[in-house]
Every structure is written in structure tokens, then in C-alpha cells.
Amino acid sequence: MSAEIISGTDMRTAILEELASEVEAMKAKHGKVPGLVTILVGENPASVSYVTLKVKTALKLGFHEIQDSQPESISEEELLALIERYNQDPDIHGILVQLPLPKHINEEKVIYAINPDKDVDGFHPVNLGRMVIGGDNGGFLPCTPAGIQEMIVRSGTETSGAEVVVVGRSNIVGKPISVMMGQKGRGANSTVTMVHTRTHDIAEHCKRADILIVAAGVPGLVKPDWIKPGATVIDVGVNRVGTSTTGKAILSGDVDFAEACKVAGKITPVPGGVGPMTIAMLMKNTVKSAWMHLE
């Protein structure tokens, strides 16, 4: 058996086409487009490349996009004041502060400073609270879990009544996706187990999963004999395992991909899986925010 590959790159293309039509409709109805500011502090190479991709995608969709790059030396007070300016700017519907921030800046304070109704990353506690309450309550889902759920739905994987095992309990992926898959509604209604470093036998749990979501940050952690034959496997790991001769990072997921393909029914690759979906969901949240501000 060879698993069907779930391409995040292809799904991103389809979602961006849907969003481009929405931007056109918004322009026709309100004479406005979604506005997104991406704030980058310092020059961390990974952050620069993520932000560049986000900006490029926003511009391609016809957003009003501001790339606001600030020096590493910016003070916490200055950054908080900058965020407040964008909170008050009626042409900005989404505010993204790229993480991580330099050590002298308290990330929690920065996240809390963003107006929850412009928090298109879905990191603000108000939005996390809205996510836990569930239903369409005007909140923003965090982008990576939202992308994972969208991939599961678009791949045609049945989630209702499915056993979902999530490996990892981070605030950005493990915790939110565990809640989301257990909610009522589209792409959910699953029975969820979240496992982590203190779980007694991770492999035994994984073997029960109809849908296995791995966000541990450990390259090759999941072995083929941890996978139930025919399961859908979502690999969220992005691990730099080396550098190519041209200087590019060589990436590997948390799943032993080549071997897992022989057992799984469907599987996401790394790169080209969950990563592209995260950006698509950021754009989707920004369009949603713009509609909410304009109507």
C-alpha cells in the first residue's frame, strides 16, 4: 500500500483562489480591501523568510499590506505603542507580530496588546477562549490548527466519531487542535487523546488513531509500526536536519515519511504539507476580519 499524499501546496492554491474572489466582492461592495500589517522585529533569518512569504501572499491577493520592520533594539514600550497605532487604524484589519521576539520584550504582553478583533494569528487569550466555547462566535482560530483541520476535511477524511491522537501539547498546535477536533461541527466530532512527553506509552495510543496529528518537534519520532493501517497522518514537524550544498535548510517532519507511506492511508509531506496551509489560514482570517469590520 502507498499512502495518498495530501498536498498543502495544492490546497493553499485552491483556498487563495477562493479568497481572491472574496477580495473582489469586498472591493465591489465597500470600495475597500483587507488590510494586514506584519511586524518583524530584528533579522532572525527564519522569521524574515516567513514574513516575506506572508507579505508576498497578501500582496498577491490584493490586500493593503504594510510590512513594518523594526530594529532588534526597539523597546517594549515602543512596540506596544506601535501596536496601539495599528489597533486604531481603520484600514488595518489584521495585526501580526512575528514570533519569537528579542529577549528584552515580553511576548505575552505584546500578544495581549493586540485588539482581539484584529488578532488574525488567533494567539490572544480572548480568541483562545472563543475557540474553546466553539461555534461561529466571531473569533479567530489559530492558523496552524485551522490549516490542519481544513486539510483533514479537504482530504475527505471522516472525522465524526474518529479516534484522533495528537502528539504534543504546545499552545500553538497541540492544545488548540485537540480542542477543535473534539468540538461539534465541520471537520470535528472526534474522540481526542493528547499525548506528550510524560505519557506512558505514546506508541500504543498512536496505534489506535484513525487520524494521527504529530506536533512534537522531534524528527522521525513516529515509526511506521505506530500507525494504524489506512490512518490519516498529519505531520506538523518542521525540523532543520541539515543544510544543502546551495545553503538551503533541509527540512524533515516528525514522522518517518518514507516508511509511514507504506502503512498510512493518507499523509502530509514536509515540506509542502501543513506549512503552506498556515499561511492560507492567516489570509482567510484577515479576510474574515475585514468583513467583520466593514459590515
- What is the binding site for ligand GUN (CB under 6 A)? 96-99, 121, 143, 278
- Catalytically annotated residue among 121, 210, 235, 254: 121
Nearest to 4 by CA among 245, 181, 230: 230
- For the four alpha carbons of 163, 169, 171 and 173, in that order, the dihedral sign comes to negative
CB-CB contact of 49 with 55 (8 Å): no
Q: Tell me which residue has cell 482570517.
A: 285
Given the complex with ligand GUN, which of 37 and 209 has the nearer CB atom? 37
Whether 256 is catalytic is no
Given the complex with ligand GUN, which of 34 and 228 has the nearer CB atom? 34
Whether 183 is catalytic is no
Q: Phi/psi at 234 (nearest 5 deg)?
A: -110, 115
Nearest distance, CB of residue 234 and ligand GUN, angstroms = 16
Given the complex with ligand GUN, which of 97 and 215 has the nearer CB atom? 97
CA distances from 52 to 12, 105, 109, 143, 223 (A): 17, 22, 25, 17, 34
Whether 98 is catalytic is yes
Instruction: Name the residue number minimizing CB distance to ligand GUN.
Output: 99
Nearest distance, CB of residue 142 and ligand GUN, angstroms = 8
Nearest distance, CB of residue 248 and ligand GUN, angstroms = 19
- Catalytically annotated residue among 54, 175, 284, 288: 54
Given the complex with ligand GUN, which of 121 and 256 has the nearer CB atom? 121
Given the complex with ligand GUN, which of 97 and 236 has the nearer CB atom? 97
Nearest distance, CB of residue 3 and ligand GUN, angstroms = 27
Nearest distance, CB of residue 244 and ligand GUN, angstroms = 22
Nearest distance, CB of residue 281 and ligand GUN, angstroms = 9
**Which residues, including other chains, have CB under 8 Å from residue 155's CB and lie 6 or more apart?**
4, 6, 232, 266
Given the complex with ligand GUN, which of 96 and 105 has the nearer CB atom? 96
Binding-site residues for NADP(+), in ranges, read 168-170, 238
Positions annotated as catalytic residues are 54, 98, 121
